[in-house]
Structure 1
Amino acid sequence: MGKTRKNRIRHIANSNPLGLNIIPVLLDGNQDSLDNGLDPVETMRDQLLNVNVEEKLNALQSLAVMVQSGKKDKLTAICQNDIIRIAAPYLFDRDQPLRNAAAGALRNFTVCMPEVCDVFVEQDVLTPLLALLNEYAQDAQWTPTFDAALDGQLDVRSDTFLQAINLLWNLCESSMTALDTFNQSQLIGGLIRCLDHSVFGLDIAVSVAQCLLVVSENNQKVWNALTQHVHALLILLELNGVCGHHYLRTLGAAILSNVPALSAAYSSNILNSLAQTLAVDHQEALSNVLNARVENERNECVPVLDINMETEEDESEEAAALRRRRLELPTTAEIAIKEVANLLDAHRVAAEIITNLVSNDDDEWVDSEGEDASESEGILDYDISNANGNEDIHDEDKLPAELIEMIKNLGIVQKLWHKAQVLPDNVVQTLREVSVELIMKVKNLRISSLLCLQNLCNALSPDDMGGPKAIYDVWVELGQLVFKGPQDVAVMEPATSLMRAALERLKTNKELFSQMADNDLELIFNGVKNCSVAEIRANWLRMLGTLGCLLSETLVRTIITFIIEACIEEDDVWTISEALDALMDMFGDNDWPTMIVELNLPEVLKKLEKMFKNKLRQQRRELKDRYPAVQTVRTNLTRFIRYMEIEADKYTKSG
């Protein structure tokens, strides 16, 4: 029970990827359409069909603005119309600005509303998109140019490639049809060369790496292609420098780890690279952003005398265009935020790679009994020591010795624990004023780190994790965090999962829990009662079962009573099965005949069994791949009750 599946590396798209500012003129244009009684979607469609390139550009710019506005009704209306089908061919139009506008608008659409990806595929965005990218792949002479007058901004053709590769990434992540189509495109070789950031710049290199990471997941056709480019990927693992370099290096490690043959052959290179990434202090980087903000605010208070005597009326058209483009460039603060965002993403991806490296994805539950298994199994068929299927929880040989040694020597556990820490309240408050995006990335990093630590806790021995005392300290600290202040469910689930895994590792260390009292248990009881998420309730109940193997008989009696009451009040059959499994586990190493009789456990459990079976029948379809595990608990419960009856009978006769 309670197995942890292999985690998929999450690819969180950037919001506002183009860095577009809402253009008042365009918004006014849409407002004019509304004032004149014209539907803006229909107006956009008419402009796209116009032979005039300027009209088409206006339509695509309006689409970009509408997407950024996030008005779901308008975006849904666009999907229900044929606007995407009309706009898609402009990805491969002769006019470069038109290509750029189409790529940017369509890419933004898939970021702000990922569910449109299937619509995009249905409306044949892939044909012109792949034709466009193939043009770059076949042009060996193409390299970007960077405008020094505009802080190294990409030329229009290269920016079009950047938007297009991000669009492809989003489509392949959301649509199997898109991925299958990509597999037939032979684009890998052309994309690999774009990983050279010294030639193509960090923005393009990172986006290409993100795309390759998505298409290489569980995709043997891409694996075969990537094995021809190992050297280019290994070079990424040696990158160092700014946060963008750390992110690109980590993405390179992630791509290698996606390919089984390469992951096995270069596991040492991958782990060393990830350790270097995790060694960078993200809290210090966040503090630097906040300090820069304070400095910028101070500088903004200083009046600046503008000695430029040239008025806007005297500007040439070219100078005016350059001035407007400069105004649209990201500020120093925005660039700093982007850098830290890259670092946080690098740390998150590193944690997810390590999770995948130490997880065994081959463990599946097998329903060996079937739904109609005999309910009259005798005590001779029941082994109380392994009733819950967790008898191998302390096997120390789950990972290769070389991998375990590297994890220890590189301090991976300690580095991840640092990433899982809560930021100080004052830092969070200031960050919230600076960038909500960074707040979300910090949260995602915590979640990934906690999940990775849970998997490491399941896979490593207590000594490899730093010893029982270190694991206990983590358990206590996490407990203090989850009971403190408002709870975020997204963080609570991995936090309680790690607590549960840590506690399992301490089953033979009763001395660490000698000071535990009723009020400590009451905190967990309240955690179960006040939680609306079944997964978290299951974690708490599992922990109570483990504590029942560690605490005094008086406290054990309290735990048993609570678990039974919780099962009676519980609606979710998976949570009930976890609680019952934990209850049976408590009797694996303990004989409490007095408690069995005084609490009348055989009769109480028979009533609970009847309720459990009814809920199992009702929720069978909802359980999906969890059904076999719940069915195993159902079968074991019948045998466990029979064991309870025999023990109670023995005790009664002996008395």
Structure 2
Amino acid sequence: MGKTKKGKSKPHKKNPTGLQSLRDLENEGDGSTSSGPINTIIDQLQSASNDEKMCGLQSLSTLCQRELNIKQIIDSDLVRIAAPLLIDPDINVRQACSGCLRNLSCISVEICERLVEQDVFTPLQTLLCQYANNEWLPTNDKKVDVLDQKSDTFLQAVNIMWNLCESTSVALEFFNQSQLLQSFVRCLDHEKFGMEISISTAQCLLVISEDNPAAWRILAEFVSVFQNVLKLEGTDYKTVILRTVVAGVASNVPALTVQCLHPIIETLSKTIEINHRQVLNELTSRLPLNENETQEPTAVEIVDDEMREESEADASARRLREDLPTELDNDIKNVGYLLSAQRTASEILTNICSSEGSESKDEMEDISDAESVHDYDINEHQNGNGICEDKIPVEMTEAIKAHKIVEKLWARSQPLAENVKAILMTSEKNLYKRQNSLRISTLICLHNLCNVMTTEELGGATAIYNVWLDLGQQIFQIQQDYESLEASTSLMRATLEHLKKSRDLFQQVSDSDLQLILDGIQNCDKSEVRANWLRMLGSLGCLLAEPLVKKITDFMLETTIKEDDVWTISEALDSFMDMFSDNDWNQIVHELNVVPKSKELEKILKTKMKQRKRELGDRYPAIVTIKTNFTRFCKYLETQQKSFVPNPTT
């Protein structure tokens, strides 16, 4: 008694767990998911037996694995019935329920909205309050380094809260009323609660603190807590992501930002300076080439009766260790932490470096046609540099320059080597997606910085030109997904705004280089990307020699006439007007019949605006402004042509 021995390996039973398989669940009853397994699971969840409840929760988790079942699950009473099990007296039931609902909450925003509608929040809040009120601390099993059941249940519950608050404002309002915020801040102490709980709690706080003055008032009382986390030493990736996310929380709270600005920027700088491409290179060298090589076959171990006996506790620990992740699994998870931390850092920088002087949506919608436009003046169509006049505070700019944030972001935006990319796409698709998200976030951050910093603050015209050139080469040499392409072209467009007075840098642009761009526009089926390219053409029209300007003018007129997307048309026309800000190009206007074609474009834009007004949403006021300005621009060109004497030699 009390002793166990290793015996001979035996074949698995046909169904060793006793649980229904996914196929059995879907084939039960009349074959309909809603009438068969869902009713069975409901009966199990409502049973007085804990074993029946566990079986029902396991079956629900299994059913959630297929997308085609989700609608039936949400449309039924399953979630409403399962949710109270979050506060079931049995810890096994609570743990299984929290894990099941967490997986369900990860699926989509719509699912989270339905979870809130089916009152998941009430038992979830009650569960978390039990932890908060009892001054609970985790009791990890140090032999196997895993969370105990109570701690794991809390971790799953925090993740559910995180997903709900990120997806719906209703959940956020409920959270504000729950009195849980202080207890969440307490969990940032990783020495007491462990890294996993501290990281998840910080990520939840990052969502909760965004645009939430009710939370700001409470979080502002914990300056020392946030400062202590920001001072954490260590380069392990769990520490990196904890510091980074806490920096994000502090940057969301105005009072904390004021007191912690330099530690915040320093933390973000440390995060983005880590060479993620080198880390991924090293990791992929250890990854198996294909799924069949993930684990070498091992011989069946045969142990005789004379083998050393072990206690029940030791046997349980051994079995648990056998199920633990391998060293490679842990390394993959940690690299995932790094990529997430760097993406978060770039998003935080994007937010804190945003211009504060832009008009709100409501203000824009209140602007009438008469108030939103002025008579077209060719010399005052934009400010001198073509750059947004709203700037970030000097203190912020100095911190960004001191920590070389722009250079570090540019390094993080570089694409992976093709061999590394191929291995990740084969063996670790999740890591590939994370690094791609990181690249997109850094490109967006750089685009934002281009809009709020001067040319000199960004490193000078030559450095900006090299970024524009490198991005163009990447676009035409490396296959990219739509999101990456949009982010890249948006940054290229922003860099060109800084180069409108640097004509000398563009002397080497040839007809073939320009044709490459024109072909790229014609072959692009994404309107947002086309709009970026057409905007860039307008900027290039201010920089290139007259023969290339003529080619650009002809292409923009012909392409825009054929364009179907209203926003793309308006962007093209706006950039077309920019081309004439420094030069009237009267000879080109005459040779290409620009005036009648422009009037045709004006009619096209006006017609499409009427047809699709409801689809334009927030963009409608801006398009109205462009339309009105373009009408006056056409009149301006017509007036200029009346007094223009064409060159007879052309």
Normalised to the residue count of structure 1, the TM-score between the two structures is: 0.90
Partner of 1:5: none
User: Structure 1 residue 91 and structure 2 residue 97: aligned?
Assistant: no
User: Which residue, out of 34, 43, 46, partners 2:43?
Assistant: 46
Name the CA distance, whole Å, in 2 between partners of 1:395 and 1:110. 40
Partner of 2:575: 582
For 1:112, the aligned partner's letter is I
Partner of 1:383: 377
For 1:51, the aligned partner's letter is A
Closer, same or farther: CA 458–234 of 1 in aligned 2, 3 Å:
same
Closer, same or farther: CA 112–406 of 1 in aligned 2, 3 Å:
same
Q: Aligned ranges for residues 95-244 of structure 1 at < 5 Å? A: 95-140=90-135, 142-150=136-144, 152-239=145-232, 240-244=234-238
Q: Deviations over 1:7-28 (max 9, x none)?
A: xxxxxxxxxxxxxxxx984664
For 2:112, the aligned partner's letter is C
Partner of 2:537: 544
SS in 1 for 2:605: helix
Identity of aligned residues (%): 44
Partner of 1:63: 60
User: Structure 1 residue 422 and structure 2 residue 412: aligned?
Assistant: no
User: Structure 1 residue 623 and structure 2 residue 616: aligned?
Assistant: yes
For 2:125, the aligned partner's letter is L
How many Å apart are 1:254 and its aligned residue? 0.2
Name the CA distance, whole Å, in 2 between partners of 1:24 and 1:202. 35
How many Å apart are 1:567 and its aligned residue? 0.9
How many Å apart are 1:249 and its aligned residue? 0.2
Name the CA distance, whole Å, in 2 between partners of 1:635 and 1:311. 93
Partner of 1:519: 512
User: Which residue, out of 597, 616, 629, partners 1:636?
Assistant: 629
Closer, same or farther: CA 100–310 of 1 in aligned 2, 3 Å:
farther
* Deviates further, 390-399 or 334-343: 390-399
Q: Deviations over 1:568-601 (max 9, x none)?
A: 0101111111111111111111122222222222
SS in 2 for 1:384: coil
User: Structure 1 residue 496 and structure 2 residue 494: aligned?
Assistant: no
SS in 1 for 2:250: helix
Paired residues of 1:27 and 1:65 also in contact (CA < 8 A) = no
For 1:124, the aligned partner's letter is D
For 1:629, the aligned partner's letter is A
Q: Aligned ranges for residues 183-582 of structure 1 at < 5 Å? A: 183-239=176-232, 240-293=234-287, 306=301, 308-309=303-304, 321-364=316-359, 366=364, 370-371=368-369, 381-387=375-381, 389=382, 393-394=386-387, 398-582=391-575
Paired residues of 1:373 and 1:635 also in contact (CA < 8 A) = no
For 2:550, the aligned partner's letter is R
Closer, same or farther: CA 46–278 of 1 in aligned 2, 3 Å:
same
Paired residues of 1:290 and 1:431 also in contact (CA < 8 A) = yes
Q: Deviations over 1:54-98 (max 9, x none)?
A: 01011111222222x2x1232211111111111111111111111
Name the CA distance, whole Å, in 1 between partners of 2:54 and 2:340. 34
How many Å apart are 1:302 and its aligned residue? 9.4
**Residue ranges of structure 1 left out of the alignment (5+ in a row):** 1-22
Closer, same or farther: CA 212–309 of 1 in aligned 2, 3 Å:
farther
How many Å apart are 1:326 and its aligned residue? 3.1
Name the CA distance, whole Å, in 1 between partners of 2:568 and 2:16. 53
Q: Deviations over 1:179-212 (max 9, x none)?
A: 1111001111111111111111111000000111
Name the CA distance, whole Å, in 2 between partners of 1:94 and 1:489. 49
Q: Deviations over 1:260-305 (max 9, x none)?
A: 2222332212101110111212122223322443699999659679
Name the CA distance, whole Å, in 1 between partners of 2:645 and 2:372. 28
Name the CA distance, whole Å, in 1 between partners of 2:444 and 2:647. 49
Partner of 1:17: none
Paired residues of 1:369 and 1:632 also in contact (CA < 8 A) = no
SS in 2 for 1:153: coil
Q: How big is the alpha-carbon RMSD for the aligned residues of Structure 1 and Structure 2?
A: 2.7
Closer, same or farther: CA 325–368 of 1 in aligned 2, 3 Å:
closer
Relative contact order, CA 8 A, sep 6+: which one is greater?
Answer: 1
Name the CA distance, whole Å, in 1 between partners of 2:198 and 2:641. 69
How many Å apart are 1:402 and its aligned residue? 2.0
* Deviates further, 205-214 or 111-120: 111-120
Name the CA distance, whole Å, in 2 between partners of 1:575 and 1:250. 37
How many Å apart are 1:33 and its aligned residue? 4.6
Name the CA distance, whole Å, in 2 between partners of 1:295 and 1:556. 51
Partner of 1:37: 29
Partner of 1:16: none
Q: Aligned ranges for residues 11-22 of structure 1 at < 5 Å? A: none
Name the CA distance, whole Å, in 2 between partners of 1:311 and 1:599. 97
For 1:594, the aligned partner's letter is Q
For 1:370, the aligned partner's letter is S
Normalised to the residue count of structure 2, the TM-score between the two structures is: 0.90
Partner of 1:3: none
SS in 2 for 1:508: coil
Name the CA distance, whole Å, in 1 between partners of 2:306 and 2:451. 69
Closer, same or farther: CA 301–167 of 1 in aligned 2, 3 Å:
closer
Name the CA distance, whole Å, in 2 between partners of 1:478 and 1:214. 32
How many Å apart are 1:536 and its aligned residue? 0.6
Closer, same or farther: CA 232–26 of 1 in aligned 2, 3 Å:
farther
